[in-house]
């Protein structure tokens, strides 16, 4: 136990005794996040309510060298919020107020414990769109989204979370509360700390408030689906769509194994004889959406699609999107442990990479299915194993190691949108090189001299 009783009493003095927990039964839920196979039991779980409370906690932790792991909903898939070195898990879900939604300025200001969906809904109520839509959005917090620079299904046209963070309030590990950026789209006063904190996975500071950019809500949105004999044909279609000057909001794919699993799970009426499914969607003025989707459909037909269907109504469009969104739960039913990864390659190499993934999985004797963001080259290869099959789990991890190597070899990366966490830190040097890793550590030390904030993750 790295947190002694005196520290516990001080934590209670800061946040109130109700919001500090050390009993085994109370801390157990915080020993895991959404990442399978990783587990670490914290010594204490603390729920602060204000930035000032967070500052007092971090000051104390730095003075006593106690690890602090910030956490939102814990829906991350990279073991990014586990207390590997013990210490305190700092849960930010009590800080869940939507402080402001401004139509005039196209922005929202929220505490970081707000869920992504709550932010989206509050924006939508004023006719505005919060563009990032990560898969876990109904439970994930905005703070967690910013800390991991979360992506989502609209990334191709709209970009990822980093493009929408205008400003942040962050508490430094030494207790200072800083405000980076603000309410402006254009502000170059100082180093871009807003972006440096975005994607820093809770290792540089604890985000307590963010200001995010909103957009006018598009007047309409629609979705279509195309089936292809092979994933390579689908890849050709994606290249032709982009080549025709169309960058739709959504361009997602499922491989044959995913299609089968999704159909068995959700009975959406998907074809079982296709090698790949391409889901495409766009939003904007109704006639523009109609025109873009029709053109995409034609391009798919011209590039060997077996069948192309545009959703005839909103309900059907939602059902098609559901095919993509339920890929993970559908695959999860095939075993008792689902390990989903996030390798990314340049867009034209998507099909080649899926071929490599299949070959790698076969060589390690593990079943794999792959879905993901075709427009971004962002793949989610998913291996399903039995949670009691230690050797199977070991083979799965070895397969992912090879998959990461293959992605890097294609000028790709080990994570497009899920984060590094503890799960992928062992592969990060392969991606960045030793010089850049050393620089990351020096930056980490510039923020966190005592190394108390989420140790064992980025910057370690």
Per-residue binding letters, 366-405, with a second copy (x by CB under 8 A): -------x--xxx---------------------------
- CA dist 75 → 49, 320, 348 (Å): 21, 24, 30
* 184/268 with CB nearer a second copy: 184
**CA neighbours within 13 Å on the CB side: how many for 194?**
24
- Residue 42, Cα to own-chain centre: how many angstroms? 23
Candidates 176, 273, 386, 390: give the one binding a second copy (CB under 8 A): 176
**105 lies in the site for a second copy, by CB under 8 A:** yes
Shortest distance in whole angstroms from residue 75 CB to a second copy? 15
* 324/395 with CB nearer a second copy: 324
* 193/277 with CB nearer a second copy: 193
* 9/185 with CB nearer a second copy: 185
Footprint of a second copy on 295-314 (CB under 8 A): none
* 162/394 with CB nearer a second copy: 162
Distance CA(255)–CA(371), nearest Å, equals 6
Other CB atoms within 10 A of residue 47 CB: 19
- CA dist 70 → 48, 98, 140 (Å): 11, 20, 14
Q: Two tokens at 193?
A: 């700390």
Shortest distance in whole angstroms from residue 371 CB to a second copy? 15
Candidates 393, 447, 451, 456: give the one binding a second copy (CB under 8 A): 447
Q: Two tokens at 180?
A: 């980076």
Candidates 206, 251, 422, 458: give the one binding a second copy (CB under 8 A): 458
Q: Which residues contact 314 (CB under 8 A, 6 or more apart)?
A: none
**130 lies in the site for a second copy, by CB under 8 A:** no
Candidates 5, 125, 245, 315: give the one binding a second copy (CB under 8 A): 245
**124 lies in the site for a second copy, by CB under 8 A:** no
Count of residues of this chain found to bind a second copy when the rule CB under 8 A is applied: 87
* 295/394 with CB nearer a second copy: 295
* Max Cα-Cα span within the chain: 71
Q: In which element (H, E) is residue 262 found?
A: helix 256-266
Candidates 49, 183, 304, 316: give the one binding a second copy (CB under 8 A): 183
- The neighbouring-strand residues paired with 206 are 171
* 289/330 with CB nearer a second copy: 289
Q: Torsions phi, psi of 198, nearest 5?
A: -65, 120
Candidates 29, 329, 346, 409: give the one binding a second copy (CB under 8 A): 346
Task: Give me the residue label for tokens 């590990």.
Answer: 173
Q: What sign does the dihedral 315-317-319-321 (CA atoms) show?
A: negative
Distance CA(235)–CA(232), nearest Å, equals 5
Q: Two tokens at 167?
A: 């400003």
Footprint of a second copy on 31-60 (CB under 8 A): none
Candidates 14, 403, 420, 452: give the one binding a second copy (CB under 8 A): 420
Footprint of a second copy on 133-172 (CB under 8 A): 148-149, 151, 155-156, 159-160, 162-163, 172
Task: Give me the residue label for tokens 């299949």.
Answer: 358
């Amino acid at each position: 136990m790295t947190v002694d009783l005196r520290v516990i009493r001080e934590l209670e003095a800061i946040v109130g005794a109700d919001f500090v927990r050390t009993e085994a039964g109370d801390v157990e839920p915080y020993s895991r996040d959404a990442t399978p196979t990783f587990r670490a039991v914290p010594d204490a779980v603390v729920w602060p309510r204000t930035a000032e409370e967070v500052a007092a906690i971090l000051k104390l932790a730095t003075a006593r060298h106690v690890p602090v792991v910030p956490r939102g909903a814990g829906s991350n898939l990279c073991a990014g919020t586990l207390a590997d070195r013990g210490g305190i898990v700092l849960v930010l879900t009590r800080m869940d107020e939507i402080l402001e939604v401004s139509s005039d300025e196209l922005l929202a200001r929220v505490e970081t414990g707000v869920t992504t969906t709550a932010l989206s809904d509050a924006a939508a109520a004023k006719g505005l769109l919060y563009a990032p839509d990560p898969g876990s959005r109904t439970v994930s917090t905005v703070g967690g989204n910013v800390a991991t620079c979360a992506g989502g299904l609209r990334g191709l046209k709209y970009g990822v979370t980093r493009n929408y963070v205008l400003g942040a309030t962050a508490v430094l590990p030494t207790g200072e509360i800083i405000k980076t950026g603000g309410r402006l789209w254009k502000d170059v006063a100082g180093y871009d700390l807003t972006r440096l904190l975005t994607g820093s996975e809770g290792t540089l500071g604890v985000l307590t408030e963010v200001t995010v950019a909103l957009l006018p809500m598009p007047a309409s949105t629609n979705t279509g689906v195309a089936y292809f004999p092979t994933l390579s044909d689908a890849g050709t279609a994606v290249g032709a769509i982009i080549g025709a000057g169309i960058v739709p909001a959504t361009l997602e794919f499922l491989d044959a194994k995913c299609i089968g699993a999704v159909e068995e799970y959700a009975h959406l009426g998907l074809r079982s004889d296709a090698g790949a499914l391409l889901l495409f969607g766009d939003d904007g003025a109704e006639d523009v959406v109609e025109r873009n989707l029709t053109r995409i459909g034609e391009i798919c037909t011209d590039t060997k699609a077996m069948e192309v269907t545009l959703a005839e109504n909103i309900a059907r469009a939602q059902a098609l999107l559901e095919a993509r969104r339920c890929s993970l739960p559908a695959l999860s039913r095939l075993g008792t442990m689902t390990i989903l990864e996030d390798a990314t390659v340049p867009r034209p190499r998507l099909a080649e990479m899926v071929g490599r993934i299949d070959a790698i999985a076969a060589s390690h004797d593990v079943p794999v299915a792959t879905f993901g963001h075709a427009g971004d080259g962002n793949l989610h290869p998913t291996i399903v194993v039995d949670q009691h099959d230690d050797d199977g789990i070991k083979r799965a991890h070895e397969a992912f190691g090879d998959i990461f190597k293959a992605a890097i070899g294609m000028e790709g990366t080990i994570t497009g949108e899920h984060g590094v966490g503890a799960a992928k830190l062992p592969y990060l040097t392969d991606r960045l090189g030793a010089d850049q890793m050393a620089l990351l550590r020096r930056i980490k030390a510039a923020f966190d001299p005592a190394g108390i904030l989420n140790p064992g993750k980025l910057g370690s």
